[in-house]
């Protein structure tokens, strides 16, 4: 009986490892695809259609580039995209731009180590440079930060490692 239990336990561990490898390979392929699109469409300023990509975000301190899609639903964020919140202004306008992403190493995990004064770029055929001026952690049901009418600013949102909390990173355009 002990041998069978040991074999079943080993099988469970094996399939768990296989599943993690599959997810890692899938995420790597998605990131490679995003990098190719960023390079061919946005950085080379080609005439290729944007499809459903609004642009990309570049965090130079951590050398992270991620495509931006409209929406923050699970499907978009789970594919390692950065999602534009429905309350966000246009990437080309002067209203507050609100972007969300998962707290993963390939998306917004590095935001936790960002500092006031760090730069972040948004590119959508036109590049805009933003500088971090504040960071705070709020409850995920606190939306008071949306009450202020912020112009020419960028707000990045990701979760923390604590349930029910969000990290907010506030940036203003650096012209």
CATH code, 115 = 2.40.260.10
pTM, to two decimals? 0.75
* Helices assigned H by DSSP within the chain: 2-37, 74-78
Q: What would the pLDDT profile of 128-146 be if each residue is shown by its tens digit?
A: 999 999 999 999 888 888 7
- List, in order, residues 6 or more apart from 118 with CB less than 8 Å away: 59, 61, 131, 132
Q: How many whole angstroms separate alpha carbon 123 and alpha carbon 66?
A: 10
Full domain range(s) for residue 150:
2-173
Query: Hey, which residues does 81 pair with through a beta bridge?
Result: none
Count how many domains the chain has: 1
The residues pairing with 150 across neighbouring beta strands, listed in sequence order, are none
DSSP β-ladder status, 97-100 and 153-159: parallel
Torsion of CA 61, 64, 68, 74, to 10 degrees: -110
**pLDDT tens by residue, 58-78:** 999 999 999 999 999 988 888
């Amino acid at each position: 009986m002990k041998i069978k239990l040991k074999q079943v336990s080993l099988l469970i561990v094996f399939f768990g490892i296989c599943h993690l490898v599959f997810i890692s390979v899938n995420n790597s392929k998605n990131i490679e695809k995003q990098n190719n699109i960023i390079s061919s469409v946005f950085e080379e300023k080609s005439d290729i259609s944007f499809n459903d990509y609004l642009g990309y975000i570049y965090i130079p301190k951590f050398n992270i580039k991620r495509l931006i899609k409209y929406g923050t639903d699970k499907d978009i964020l789970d594919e390692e995209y950065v999602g534009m919140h429905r309350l966000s202004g246009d990437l080309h306008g002067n209203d507050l731009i609100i972007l969300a992403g998962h707290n993963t190493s390939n998306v917004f995990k590095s935001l936790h180590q960002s500092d006031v004064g760090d730069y972040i770029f948004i590119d959508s055929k036109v590049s805009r440079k933003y500088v971090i001026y504040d960071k705070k952690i709020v409850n995920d049901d606190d939306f008071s930060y949306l009450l202020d009418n912020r112009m020419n600013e960028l707000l990045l949102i990701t979760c923390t490692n604590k349930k029910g909390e969000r990290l907010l990173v506030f940036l203003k355009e650096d012209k």
